[in-house]
Structure 1
Amino acid sequence: MLHHLVRPSLGLFLLFATLLSTNAFSISLTSKRFRDIPYKATTAPDFSPEKNVLDVYRPNKKADKPYPVVVFIHGGNWNSGSKNIYWFIGRRLAKQGIVAVIISYRLSPGVLVPAMATDCAQAVAWTSLHIANYGGDPNRIYVMGHSAGGGLAALLATDDTLFEKLGMARNPVKGAILDDPAGINMYDYLKKMEFPSDKQYLTSFGADPEGWRSVSPLYKVKAGAPPMLLYTGEKTYPSIISGTEALHKKLLSLGIKSQYTVIPGKAHVPMVKQLFWKRNIIYREAIGWMTN
Structure 2
Amino acid sequence: MRVSCRWLALPTLLLLPLLLLVANEYATARPSHRTQDIAYVPATDPAYDAERHLLDVYAPRHKAAKPYPVVVFIHGGSWNSGNKNFYSFIGRRLAKQGVVAVVINYRLSPKVEVPAMADDCARAVIWTTEHIREYGGDPQRLFLMGHSAGAGLVALLAADNRLFTRRGLATNPIRGALLDDPAGLDMFDYLTKLEYPGDAQYLIPYSKQPEVWKDVSALYHVTAATPPFVIFIGGETYPSIRNSSRKFQLKLTDLGRPPQFTVLPGKKHVPMVLQLYWKNNVVYQELLKLVNQ
Q: TM-score, normalised by structure 1?
A: 0.90
Deviation at 1:196, TM superposition (A): 4.0
Residue 25 of structure 1, CA deviation: 5.2
Shift of residue 175, structure 1, vs aligned partner: 0.4
Aligned residue in 2 for 1:227: 228
Q: Identity over the aligned pairs, expressed in percent?
A: 56
How much does 1:289 deviate? 2.1
Residue of structure 2 in register with 1:265 after alignment: 266
For residues 180-237 of structure 1, give each alpha carbon's deviation from its aligned partner in whole angstroms, at most 9, with x where no partner exists: 0000000000000113411100110000000000011001111200000000000000
Distance in 2 (alpha carbons) for counterparts of 1:274 and 1:49: 31
**What 5-or-longer segments of structure 1 have no aligned partner?**
1-16
Answer yes or no: is 1:102 the counterpart of 2:103: yes
Deviation digits for residues 83-141 of structure 1, max 9, x if unmatched? 01000000000000000000000000000000000000000000001001100000011
* Structure 2 SS opposite 1:273: helix
| CA distance in structure 2 between the aligned counterparts of 1:268 and 1:27, rounded to whole angstroms | 25
- Shift of the alpha carbon at 1:26? 11
Aligned to 1:54: 55
Q: Could you tell me how far apart the structure 2 residues matched to 1:196 and 1:94 are?
A: 40
Q: Which residue of the partner structure matches residue 5 of structure 2? A: none
Q: d(CA) in 2 for partners of 1:252 and 1:205? A: 27
Report the counterpart of residue 42 of structure 1 in structure 2: 43
| Paired letter, 1:75 | G
User: Does the CA contact (< 8 Å) of 2:237 and 2:267 recur in 1?
Assistant: yes
The 1-side partners of 2:187 and 2:280 are apart by 32
Gap change, CA 1:153 and 1:106, over 3 Å in 2: same
Give the partner amino acid of 1:90.
G
2:80 aligned partner, one-letter code: N
Match in the other structure for 1:218: 219
Partner of 2:190: 189
**Is 2:107 the partner of 1:139?**
no
How far apart, CA to CA, are the structure 2 residues paired with 1:91 and 1:27? Answer: 6
Structure 1 runs (4+) greater than 3 angstroms displaced? 24-27
- Aligned partners of 2:63, 2:39: CA distance in 1, in Å? 26
Q: State the SS of the aligned residue for 1:44.
A: coil
Distance verdict in 2 for CA 1:26–1:199, change over 3 Å: farther
User: TM-score, length-normalised on structure 2?
Assistant: 0.90
Describe the SS at the equivalent of 1:268. Answer: coil
CA drift at 1:254: 1.1
The separation in 2 between residues aligned to 1:26 and 1:52, in whole angstroms, is: 29
- Computing the radius of gyration from Cα coordinates, the structure with the larger value is 2
Contact 1:108 1:203 in 2 (8 A): yes
* Aligned counterparts of 1:104 and 1:25: Cα–Cα separation in 2: 23
